[in-house]
Chains A and B, each alone.
Chain A
């Protein structure tokens, strides 16, 4: 029993140490996101992307979303399609896509990429 308890305590410390490291990385990533999300970075690209074809955030197929993202110049469009579909449905009374933005922020996209994604989407 004593041996088992020693193993248990060692495992607890190891896990706690790992958790701490992950949180530190997450905090660094979050800080990087805040630092990079400057209005200047979004301006020109958002205006350019606004003229592209839009796809429904809630109802469009993967192919339709990918076409819209590629038209808007979103890098790694196919991967972003997966993420947009994953967090459906999006509230139809939220044209600012707050839910989508908060979920995509976890991936630390550039402000330019985020603006291009949002410009390619419509509601419902």
Chain B
């Protein structure tokens, strides 16, 4: 497939549109991470690695990919989804450990049932971490996977 003209059938146009959507979403997530100053500790750099991985995967799909390139893009997308799931868990944990620091909870926290504490952390009633923000990376990765559905390169 590499080297030929770009296909103009509906599926190919939609596929390219999804990859373009991935690029736009990556720009948005990058801006969000910059605004949040998401660095300072090694674990805070993981989303940046995910962005690089997704950008590379999008690049692979843009350049008339081979079957191997499509599979590589899928693997990267799945790895990013796993990292995003871990990110959500880390954000919830960050909120949980911040519970007793919150003035509304500092005297209540010790006496609260465990389930209530975790709910407070998940719902961001306590803590500074936006619980589901890392899931945006998973969504972008999912768009990338959708763009590889029934990819012509996989049929050759």
CB distance from B91 to the nearest CB of A (A): 10
Tell me if B136 and A15 are in contact (CB < 8 A). Answer: yes
In the complex, number of A-B residue pairs with CB atoms less than 8 Å apart: 82
Tell me if B106 and A25 are in contact (CB < 8 A). Answer: no
Q: Which residues of A contact B142 (CB under 8 A)?
A: 7-8, 11
Q: Which residues of A contact B102 (CB under 8 A)?
A: 29, 107-109
Q: Which residues of B contact A25 (CB under 8 A)?
A: 123-125
CB distance from B140 to the nearest CB of A (A): 10
A11 and B139 in contact (CB under 8 A), knowing A4-B146, A86-B41? yes
Main secondary structure of the interface of B (DSSP, over half): loop
A108 and B124 in contact (CB under 8 A), knowing A12-B139, A22-B131? no
| Contact surface of A with B, Cβ cutoff 8 Å | 1, 4-5, 7-8, 11-12, 15, 18-19, 21-22, 25-26, 28-29, 32-33, 36, 75-76, 79-80, 83, 86-87, 106-110, 113
CB distance from A70 to the nearest CB of B (A): 15
In the assembled complex, B63 has its CB within 8 A of some CB on chain A: no
Name which residue of chain A comes closest to B146, CB basis: A4
Tell me if B101 and A1 are in contact (CB < 8 A). Answer: no
